[in-house]
Amino acid sequence: MFVKKPFVILALLALTSAPAFAQKKPAAKAPAKKAVSGISAATLLQGKSIYTQYCLTCHQADGLGVDGMNPPLAKTDYVLGDKTRLIGVLVNGLKGVDINGEEYHGVMPSQAYLNDQQMADVLTYVRNSFGNKASAVTVSEVKTVRATGKK
Amino acid sequence: MKNSITRPLLLTAALAGSFSLYSLTSKPTVAPDADNAGLKLPAGFGALVVAETGGRARHLAVTPEGNIFVKLNRPKDGKGILELKPTATGKATVSNGFGSYGGTGIYAKGGYLYASSDEDVYRYKLDAKGEVTNPTQPEKIVSGLLNRGEHESKSIVLDNAGNIYVNVGAYSNSCQVKDREKGSMGRPDCPILDSAGGIWQFRADKAGQTYGTGTRYATGLRNVVGLDWNAQNNQLFVMQHGRDQLHDIFPAMYDTKQSAEQPAECLYEITKGANAGWPFLYYNGLTHQKILAPEYGGDGKKLADPKYLEPAAAYPAHMAPDGLLFYTGTMFPAKYRNGAFIAFHGSWNRAPEPQKGYYVVFQPFKNGKPSGQWEVFADNFAGSDAKAAAGRADHKPCGLAQGPDGSLYVSDDKAGTIYRIVYNQK
C-alpha cells in the first residue's frame, strides 16, 4: 500500500511547485509616484498580494492573528505608530515583545528578502486594512531604515 | 453562574420524566445542560458547563473528591491555579485560587497536586477532603527548565513508580539557523535537543531537581502539550505538535495546500531513550512515511533515516493536540475503556485553507495500542463551522481530566469554560 500513493503526491508536487515559485516574482509595475495624501489602488492591490503570500499564514486573513501566538495587525501601536519601528519589524524580525499588552509566543521572522518596494506596499496595505487608516509607507522610508538598521 | 439555581431545577424536572425508570434503580445522574453546553456528542452523551472561569484554562485535574483544579495560562487576579468545588447539580463554583504563576501543567496523584509554570514544577499536599494544605508554600521539585518564549508550556504527568514526566518544547519550528525564516537551513545536529525538544523524567517526591538531576527520557519531539500515562501497558504516550510552514519556508517544494495537509499530528508511544526524529524529519500522514525535513536536505519526498520512532497513530495536520487522556472510567460504554481522548485546540497554520480542529477526538485502543479509526467525539467548541474554518472559535479545548464518577472534563483556554461530559443511557 506504500507503492501507489506516494507517486501521485510526487507528481502533484512536481506539477504545482513550479508555478507556485514563479508567482513569487513580483509583477512589473509603474514606479510609485503617488500624491502625498492619496494611496493608489494599485499599491493596495500589490500590498495585498504580498500580504497573502508572506504574512497571512501567521497574521491570518482577517489580520487578527492567533491567540497567544501571532499578534493582530489591527490597530496596534506597532502598525499605526512610528514608521521607522514598523519597517524595522520587517527588516529585522521581532521576538519576545508584548503587543498592546499581550504576550505572543510566536516569532516574527525577518522579511528582508522583500525588496524596498514590496515592503513599502505591504506596510501601506496593512496600515489601511483590518480597520486601520494611516499614511503610506514610502520606498525611501524603507531604504533609510534598511541603510541604518542593517544587522 | 448567577442563574445556577433555577436552570438546574428546570432541567432536573425535565429529565426526571425521561430517566425516571433508571433513577429508581441507580445513583442520581448528573443532568446535562439543555443544549449540551453547545457541544455535539454521540447519542446517549450529554454535557454541561461546570463553570465559567473567565481565565485561560489550560490543563485541569480532578481529585477523587471531585474538586477541580484548573491551571491558568496567565494568573487572574494574581491566582494561577483555581480550585472549583462541586455542587449537587454537577456544576462547580470557583472557591479558591493560589499560585502566582501562569503555566499549563497540572496533575493530581497519590495525595499531591502537581503544577508547572513555564520553567518550574511545584507540588502541593492534598488532604483527605482533596484540599491543598500548603497553597502558598509548595515544594519546588524542578526548576530552571528552558523557556525561550516559543513552545514554552511544561506539561506534566506521573507514572505509577513515583516519576514525573515534563515536556520541554523546542524553542523553534524546525531548528533553522534563523527560526521560521524563508529558506534558512537546519542547524547541524540541532543543539536545541540538548536541553529541549523532548520529555524529561524527574522524581515526583524530591525537591530541588534541575536538568542535571533529571533524565532526558525521550528526544526528537518538537513540542508536546498533551501527554498521559497508559496504565494498561505501563507506558508514556505523547501527542506532538508537528512543524509549521513548509510552504512559507520552502515555497518551491510545497504549495499552500500541501503545507496545510502536512505534516500529520502524531501520537507516539514512548519508551526510555526514544527519538521521534524532530527536526530531521516530519511524518506524512497521507503516505505514512517519515520524510526528510527540507531544512536537512529533504526535497519533499526523500525518506528520513528509518531509525527514528514510528508514530503510533496520525491525525490531520496542524490541529494542535493539547490534551491526551486514557479513559479508565466505567460511566462511558465499554468501547471507551482504556481508549484515548485527544483535545485538538484547533489549527492556525492551515491558512489560506480552512482551519480545522476545535474538537475532542476518541482513539480506540486495544491492549495498550491504538486499534481502529479515530472519531470526533465532542465537536462544535468553535460555535459554528464557519467560526472553525476561519479560526475564530468561541472555545478552544485544551485540557482533559476524568472525574471520580467517570465524567470527562474539558477545559477551554479561549473563554475559560470548564465542560463536563456525561453518559446517562444504559
CATH code of the domain in which B77 resides: 2.120.10.30
Q: Report domain extents, chain A.
A: 39-149
Nearest CB among B149, B244, B245 relative to A95 is that of B149
- The residue of chain A nearest to residue B74, with distances taken between CA atoms, is A103
pLDDT band at A27 (very low <50, low <70, confident <90, very high): very low
Looking up cell 464518577 gives: B405
Residue B426, pLDDT score: 65
pTM of the complete model: 0.89
Residue B29, pLDDT score: 73
Least confident piece of the model among A2-6, A109-113, B142-146: A2-6
In A, which residues are within 8 Å of B351 by CB distance?
Answer: 56-57, 60-61
Residue A150, pLDDT score: 54
Does residue B243 contact residue B225 with C-beta atoms inside 8 Å? no
Residue A31, pLDDT score: 39
**Any chain B CB within 8 A of the CB of A151?**
no
Fold for A39-149, please state it: Cytochrome Bc1 Complex; Chain D, domain 2 (1.10.760)
Contact A10 B151 (CB under 8 A): no
Residue B314, pLDDT score: 98
Residue A25, pLDDT score: 36
Q: What is the mean pLDDT of residues A72-95?
A: 96
Nearest CB among B182, B301, B348 relative to A13 is that of B301
Q: How close B255 comes to chain A (CA, Å)?
A: 6
In A, which residues are within 8 Å of B244 by CB distance?
Answer: 57
In B, which residues are within 8 Å of A54 by CB distance?
Answer: 182, 248
Alpha-carbon dihedral B187, B193, B198, B204, rounded to 10 degrees: -160
Report how many Cβ contacts below 8 Å link chain A to chain B. 91
CA B186 – CA B181 distance, rounded (Å): 11
Mean model confidence pLDDT for chain A: 81
A65 φ/ψ sector (left φ>0, alpha ψ -120 to 50, else beta): left
Q: How close A115 comes to chain B (CA, Å)?
A: 14
Residue A38, pLDDT score: 83
Q: Which domain holds residue B218?
A: 6-423
Q: What angle is formed at CA B221 by the lines to CA B247 and CA B71, rounded to 5 degrees?
A: 105
Looking up cell 515592503 gives: A119
Q: What is the mean pLDDT of residues A55-81?
A: 96
**Does ipTM come in above 0.90?**
no
More confident residue, B117 or A2: B117
pLDDT band at A39 (very low <50, low <70, confident <90, very high): very high
Residue B28, pLDDT score: 55
Contact A96 B245 (CB under 8 A): no
Nearest CB among A9, A20, A52 relative to B286 is that of A9
Neighbours of A59 (CB within 10 A): 24
Query: Angle of helix A83-92 relative to helix A116-126, nearest 10 degrees?
Result: 120
For chain A, counts of helices (H) and of strands (E): 7, 0
CA B8 – CA A94 distance, rounded (Å): 50
Residue A132, pLDDT score: 96
The total number of structural domains in chain B stands at: 1
Task: Look at residue B1 and tell me if it is in a domain.
Answer: no
Nearest CB among B180, B254, B287 relative to A2 is that of B287
Position A91 pLDDT exceeds 60:
yes
More confident residue, B275 or A36: B275
CA B301 – CA B308 distance, rounded (Å): 17
Dihedral of alpha carbons B351, B354, B358, B362, sign: negative
Give backbone dihedrals phi and psi of B284, rounded to 5 degrees, phi first: -85, 105
In B, which residues are within 8 Å of A105 by CB distance?
Answer: 149-152
Contact B396 A6 (CB under 8 A): no
Looking up cell 525521550 gives: B218
Nearest CB among A10, A61, A69 relative to B352 is that of A61
Task: Look at residue B105 and tell me if it is in a domain.
Answer: yes
Residue from B150, B177, B253, B395 whose CB has the most chain A CBs within 10 Å, to mutate: B150
Q: For residue A118, give the nearest of A140, A149, A139 by alpha carbon.
A: A139
CA B254 – CA B30 distance, rounded (Å): 50
**Any chain B CB within 8 A of the CB of A57?**
yes
Give backbone dihedrals phi and psi of B139, rounded to 5 degrees, phi first: -80, 135
Mean pLDDT by 10-residue block, N- to C-terminus, for chain B (426 residues)? 39 42 53 97 97 97 98 96 96 96 98 98 97 97 95 97 98 97 97 98 98 96 98 96 97 96 98 98 97 98 98 98 98 97 97 96 96 97 97 98 98 98 87
Task: Look at residue B323 and tell me if it is in a domain.
Answer: yes
Position A10 pLDDT exceeds 50:
no
